[in-house]
Amino acid sequence: MLREWLLDPAITYLNHGTVGAPPRRVLDAQREIRDEIERQPSRFLLRELTAISAGTPLAVPRLRQAAATVAAFLHADAGDLVFTDNATAGANAVLQSFPLEPGDEILLSDLTYGGVANAARFAARLRGATIRVATIPCPFSSAGIARAFADAVTPRTRLAVVDHISAESAVVFPLAEIARMLREHGVAVLADGAHAPGAIPLDVAATGVDWYVGNLHKWAWTPRSSGILWAPPARQAGLHPPVISWGLDQGFVPEFDLPGTRDPSAHLSAPAALSLMQAWDVDAIQRYNHNLAWQGALHLASRWHVDFTTPEALIGTMASVPLPERAGGTADDARRLRAALLDEDRIEVQMHAYRGRLWARISGQIYNDMDDVARLADAVGARIAG
């Protein structure tokens, strides 16, 4: 399948999860959209793209057509889903709109993505609120993750940010269970699903969260950058995008659909990406990617003589495996090893430091196979030998 991507065949690319990689056919579809825009830019962007401008000639504006396709893929209503630049932009919208008061708490975990954690800190700082952090126990387990959030709640906790799939650990959180427990305590839940759409079967409404943000440009094969924000009708009032423009006070969808002039081609390419996934069998793709991540993790652990304790049920399409202690344990160690693997071994893979160890996070995509994982095992093994 590698020929279906523009990826350099000289590089072993085990890092699909970081910024995604759209197939050639989706990039072709985006190029056609861009060409169409440039033939009549004003008509396309100001009259056909959204419902805000008067005199829109289309019964359903182009952005809403694309949103309807994405919403159907995620088992959501189109009116409850808007596009954002990425998951972090969607999280900022919720965090900046939420009515925090001095002394309130935002609950994060120690696995919360750094960009989203910073957005939460900023929102708390503006309103005199504080950040509370749940420490996720390792080895990872569904019960342990849920219990960590439950134990961290206090009477001042108003809002929690809960990963669906943790970025560095690659662990799939028991999101619905966590959301149910937190809402029983009166805590609103913002789900960070940056890595979930396209990677695992996803019914956003069934998660029971108050807001869900995710990326389409990672596992849903959409060009960069394209994210979504889902909010049920009860959570749409008072929710504003980070950039305020012509849609102010016209409702949830108009506000987010037109945050000023931008290139909408990535969002409008999402139907082409999802159509290709469906043509190639979404279920088969997800099974293949999961099996490769799982079997790859077991292989790396065996080759590096380390324990890999994450249950298969908590693995989606990525897996993080600890390196031997002699590999180092700092962020600088991780950066140096990652750079050496790319520059000298021609392998692109995510490396990070977590609790005094280095971890390698592999991504399974249908252009990868076990030979790629074996090359990583050999390269790391040679670098840390002795």
Are 237 and 290 found together in one domain?
no
pLDDT at residue 221 in the model: 98
Counting other chains too, the contacts that 68-71 makes at CB distance below 8 Å and 24 or more residues apart are 69/270, 69/271, 69/274, 70/216, 70/228, 70/270, 70/271, 70/274
With H, G, I as helix, E, B as strand and everything else as coil, classify residue 71.
Answer: helix
pLDDT at residue 386 in the model: 53
Residue 28 lies in a domain: no
Are 261 and 288 found together in one domain?
no
Are 270 and 285 found together in one domain?
no
Residue 77 is which amino acid? D
With H, G, I as helix, E, B as strand and everything else as coil, classify residue 263.
Answer: coil
CA–CA distance, 241 with 255 (Å, rounded to integer): 7
- Name the nearest CA neighbour of 20 among 224, 172, 314: 224
Q: Please state the φ and ψ torsions of residue 198, each to the nearest 5 degrees.
A: 90, -25
Strands 357-363 and 350-354: antiparallel
Residue 212 lies in a domain: yes
**DSSP code at position 3:** G
Q: Where are the alpha helices (DSSP H) in the chain?
A: 16-19, 24-39, 41-42, 62-73, 87-97, 114-127, 142-152, 175-184, 252-257, 265-268, 270-279, 282-304, 331-343, 370-384
- Name the nearest CA neighbour of 108 among 128, 147, 134: 134
Are 260 and 335 found together in one domain?
no
Residue 236 lies in a domain: yes
**DSSP code at position 172:** B
pLDDT at residue 55 in the model: 64
Residue 86 lies in a domain: yes
Residue 35 lies in a domain: no
262-278 pLDDT tens trace: 999 999 999 999 999 99
Strands 130-134 and 318-322: unpaired
Three-class SS of 101-136: CCCCEEEEECCCCHHHHHHHHHHHHHHCCEEEEECC
Residue 52 lies in a domain: yes
Are 101 and 151 found together in one domain?
yes
**DSSP code at position 234:** G
Are 119 and 247 found together in one domain?
yes
And the tokens for 165?
A: 């799939």
Domain residues for 259? 41-276
Residues in the chain: 386
Residue 27 lies in a domain: no
Are 354 and 258 found together in one domain?
no
CA–CA distance, 96 with 318 (Å, rounded to integer): 31
Are 185 and 99 found together in one domain?
yes
Which residue(s) pair with 356 in the sheet? none
pLDDT at residue 56 in the model: 72
Are 295 and 264 found together in one domain?
no
Domain count, the chain: 2
Are 195 and 311 found together in one domain?
no
Are 48 and 16 found together in one domain?
no
What counts of helices (H) and strands (E) characterise the chain? 14, 12
CA–CA distance, 233 with 254 (Å, rounded to integer): 14
Q: Which residues of the chain have pLDDT under 50?
A: none
Q: Where on the phi/psi map is residue 284: left (φ > 0), alpha (ψ -120 to 50), or beta? A: alpha
Residue 378 lies in a domain: yes
CATH of the domain at 331: 3.90.1150.10
Q: Do residues 15 and 348 make contact, with C-beta atoms less than 8 angstroms apart?
A: yes
**DSSP code at position 59:** S
Are 234 and 294 found together in one domain?
no
Residues ≥6 apart with Cβ < 8 Å to 272: 25, 26, 29, 30
Total-model pTM? 0.97
